[in-house]
Amino acid sequence: MTAPSLASDRPVIRLRPKMDPRRIRHGFPWAYANEVVTDRRTKALAPGTIAELQDEHRNPMALVAVNPASKIIARVIDMDVQANVDTDWFALRLARALSLRNRLFDAPFYRLIHAEADGLPGVVIDRFGDVLVIQPNAAWADARIDMLAEAAMAVTGARTVLKNAGGRTRSLEGLDDVSDVLHGAALEGPIPVPMNGATYMADVTGGQKTGLFYDQRPNHAFAADLAQGARVLDMFSHVGGFGLAALAGGATSALCVDGSAPALDLATQGAAAMGASDRFEARQGDAFDVLTALGEESAEFDLVICDPPAFAPAKPALDAGLRAYERIARLSASLVAPNGILALCSCSHAADLEKFRSACVRGIGRAGRSPALIRTGFAGPDHPLLPQLAESGYLKALFFRL
């Protein structure tokens, strides 16, 4: 276990001359490599080192986790430069996050820690009953994973803690992709997760990300409210997110489409657990190909949802990503019955709400349909947004009546 970081033995890093310290003092959680004096001493710090950040005049600013190999060279972890980063320090933040989730949810299935907004930069923890899945996506947290896991078990009472090393940003931090069982025994089979009246099967060891996407919970619920008596198409369905919620809401049928056979198998198991197998159908294939084929079949649905992976995960991919969103909107709009609903989602950081909405409207227009926007949805409250960090507001869900 990494020893607690004591104030007395911490290195110091400084902002470059003329760099305005107010942004960090007002809550921005990062300092970039071009904003910090990166001398030989700073470059020699081990990734994950806890340091004191000072302004150019040597005034203390914040306690930061340093990674000289990352463009985000310093992540603010505490505004108290005297804080000791030990098990109790982790437990305090975990308890604060748990208190909020206990007020929001009546069952222990949610995102417990959402990185910077919950005071643990780069850390994601999803809870599945007495199982916790931790993604330590920053070097400082990866180096202290045992301490973090110990505190998480003590605060939540969980019996099993898994480390998921599949996060895309881990490579940017110079971290490996080796997942592990930190406490408890390896799990056999998926975990049933009740949500919005549906039952989802979460594969927390071999599935995508931590096994389930909790962020879409309120948007699933809105889709369920629209689903009574509807024929539903759920594109990029993963384990049946929107499709199973729609079945719980009274849909007459739900077709779930995804490129992953294991994900669709979990969706099929979820439908069976709900007693809805007779209204459920799965279809594996490339989404663009399936949408095209359904159009050629003159298929028609009352509610169509497209929730693709991030087409624009970073600025260099923005233009191509927006074209992909526009194409998805065009192909899917043609399948919506008159006065039906089309829901289009994006989890791309680089595509802000205005750009995404414009791409969707262009695509719908190219399909010859006339849209009315009836809802703009975002991530649920267990995915809090740090106002100073636009990247934390990644999820958008637009519901159109056509």
Cβ contacts of residue 300 below 8 Å, gap of 6+? 231, 335, 336, 337
**Position 2 in a domain:** no
* Measured distance CA(20)–CA(67) in Å, rounded: 21
Q: Which residue has the tokens 């929001």?
A: 104
- Mean pLDDT check: name the lowest of 72-86, 176-190, 227-241: 176-190
Angle at CA 207, nearest 5°, toward 321 and 153?
115
Mean pLDDT (whole number) for 206-230: 94
**Position 188 in a domain:** no
95-111 tens-digit pLDDT:
999 999 999 999 999 99
Exposure on the CB side of residue 267, measured as CA atoms within 13 A: 31
Residue 2: predicted pLDDT: 56
Residue 3: pLDDT over 80: no
Residue 8: pLDDT over 80: no
Domain boundary among 137, 162, 183: 183
- Which among 73, 132, 122 has a CA at the least distance from the CA of 101? 132
Residue 314: predicted pLDDT: 84
**Position 39 in a domain:** yes
Mean pLDDT (whole number) for 372-390: 94
Residue 6: predicted pLDDT: 56
In terms of domains, do 138 and 29 share one? Answer: no
Residue 4: predicted pLDDT: 55
CATH number of the structural domain spanning residue 63: 2.30.130.10
Selected residue with higher pLDDT from 349 and 218: 218
Residue 284: predicted pLDDT: 98
In terms of domains, do 207 and 327 share one? Answer: yes
The confidence band for 186, taking pLDDT boundaries of 50, 70 and 90, is: confident
**Position 71 in a domain:** yes
Residue 378: pLDDT over 90: yes
253-264 tens-digit pLDDT:
999 999 999 999
Residue 5: pLDDT over 60: no
* Measured distance CA(351)–CA(365) in Å, rounded: 20
User: 0.85 cut: is pTM over it?
Assistant: yes
* Measured distance CA(144)–CA(27) in Å, rounded: 24
In terms of domains, do 140 and 204 share one? Answer: no
Residue 1: pLDDT over 80: no
In terms of domains, do 140 and 209 share one? Answer: no
In terms of domains, do 222 and 346 share one? Answer: yes
Mean pLDDT (whole number) for 134-158: 97
In terms of domains, do 284 and 390 share one? Answer: yes
In terms of domains, do 21 and 137 share one? Answer: no
Q: How many domains does the chain fold into?
A: 3
Domain boundary among 51, 78, 105: 78
In terms of domains, do 54 and 95 share one? Answer: no
The confidence band for 401, taking pLDDT boundaries of 50, 70 and 90, is: very high
For a pLDDT cut of 70, what percent of the chain falls above it?
Answer: 98
The confidence band for 269, taking pLDDT boundaries of 50, 70 and 90, is: very high
In terms of domains, do 147 and 278 share one? Answer: no
CATH number of the structural domain spanning residue 268: 3.40.50.150
* Measured distance CA(7)–CA(56) in Å, rounded: 20
**Position 1 in a domain:** no
**Position 190 in a domain:** no
288-332 tens-digit pLDDT:
999 999 999 999 999 999 999 999 888 899 999 999 999 999 999
For a pLDDT cut of 90, what percent of the chain falls above it?
Answer: 90
In terms of domains, do 141 and 98 share one? Answer: yes
Residue 66: predicted pLDDT: 97
- Which among 281, 174, 266, 173 has a CA at the least distance from the CA of 213? 266
- Structural domain for 98, as ranges: 87-183
Cβ burial, residue 192 (10 Å; 0-12/13-18/19+): middle
11-30 tens-digit pLDDT:
999 999 999 999 999 999 99
In terms of domains, do 39 and 95 share one? Answer: no
